[in-house]
Amino acid sequence: MKDLELKYGCNPNQKPSRIFVNDGRDLPITVLNGKPGYINFMDAFNGWQLVKELKAATNLPAATSFKHVSPAGAAVGLPLSDTLAKIYWVDDLGELSPLACAYARARGADRMSSFGDFIALSDVCDVSTANIIKREVSDGVIAPGYEPEALEILKTKKKGNYNIIQIDPEYKPEPIEHKDVFGITFEQGRNELDINKEILSEIVTKNKDLPELAKIDLIISLITLKYTQSNSVCYAKGGQAIGIGAGQQSRIHCTRLAGSKADNWWLRQSPQVMGLQFVDEIGRPDRDNAIDNYIGEDYMDVLADGAWERIFKVKPAVFTKEEKRAWLDKLEEVALGSDAFFPFSDNIERAKKSGVQYVAEPGGSVRDDLVIECADKYNMVMAFTKIRLFHH
């Protein structure tokens, strides 16, 4: 198939719309079900590149949850603890495959943002992964293949209209890429930069102890940033992104946004949240909303008279600011990647509040010495990668 006509572009008024390969080759994808749209394919192709690189860098199955051309979460297939299985709503599914663990982590990092996501999987979609996808609100999935039973499970979603794309894993695009803006064509070499542990070798802080697990988390954060709309910052821990700040004009706003998401990820694991008792008929999206409000500044909306009875079996106690801070102080050994240098040390100060111990950034700011000094103040390990990862 040389091209594929789409219903419309980014918006319904943007017609005609299609996808094709500039050099005249066949498209490297087959639509197995549904009718993916323009934004679906943007998410799918960016997500596929991300998980393919994560798999190559870590030798582990990888998954990502994309929304509006940036990942809400990305992860590799490490086993889930009982706590993570519970907060990701998969504790009732029994033993999960490594690929299913990767998607549970990617989806669970920021469940609010992942609502209605487009999924990318590095490996053939198995039944274990399909069973998680089946129960979530999602627009579609791209993978190099599907087990027959998994494909049948996915085809039942959205009344049979769920978008399922199979991509040729051997497809390699041309080294020069093009993009049209306002009728003008931009041309550039593709970002084929190989992100591996070697780029973490220049450690500029006094503390130079960078464990292997921290290296994996930093690699995950950097590969995630490679496909995140800039400016962007990514917090990672335990084989997954836990907070992604995308598309902000200011670096500190990226760090704050990603840090707040990392904080929410950790607060979901607190005894106060783990002890919440939901009424049986409340679905996962409504539970996610209730938890987000409970741990946020809108907690009174959840605990107001009459409101809590629709959500909880027992009225929860107020999760005080002091209790939240005490729990957040237990978050440790978080890795932080940035797609460009930190211009001020305020980013390090904010990162410290979310348990950051390891940092990877390009370096090159006129204030590098102040940033390093701040990292040394907290005994952090910081590597200068010498690479910028802007993505637009």
Q: Which of 255, 218, 236, 249 is closest to 347 using CA atoms?
A: 255
Cβ atoms 154, 133 nearer than 8 A: yes
Question: Choosing from 52, 67, 237, 261, which is the catalytic residue?
Answer: 67
Residues 90, 132 contacting (CB under 8 angstroms): yes
- Catalytic residue from among 68, 134, 197, 253: 68
The DSSP bridge pattern shows strands 184-189 and 138-143 to be unpaired
Q: Residue 359 CB: number of other CB atoms within 10 A?
A: 27
Residue 110 tokens, joined: 């920021």
Q: Residues 159, 172, 321, 392: which is the catalytic one?
A: 392
Asked if 109 and 265 count as a contact pair (C-beta separation under 8 A), the reply is yes
- Catalytic (active site) residue 68: yes
* Angle at CA of residue 186, ends 184 and 192, nearest 5°: 165
Question: Catalytic: which of 33, 40, 131, 231?
Answer: 231
Question: What are 215's two structure tokens?
Answer: 């290296």
Q: How many CB atoms lie within 10 A of CB 188?
A: 9
Q: State the residue for tokens 């319904």.
A: 12
Catalytic machinery residues: 67-68, 231, 392
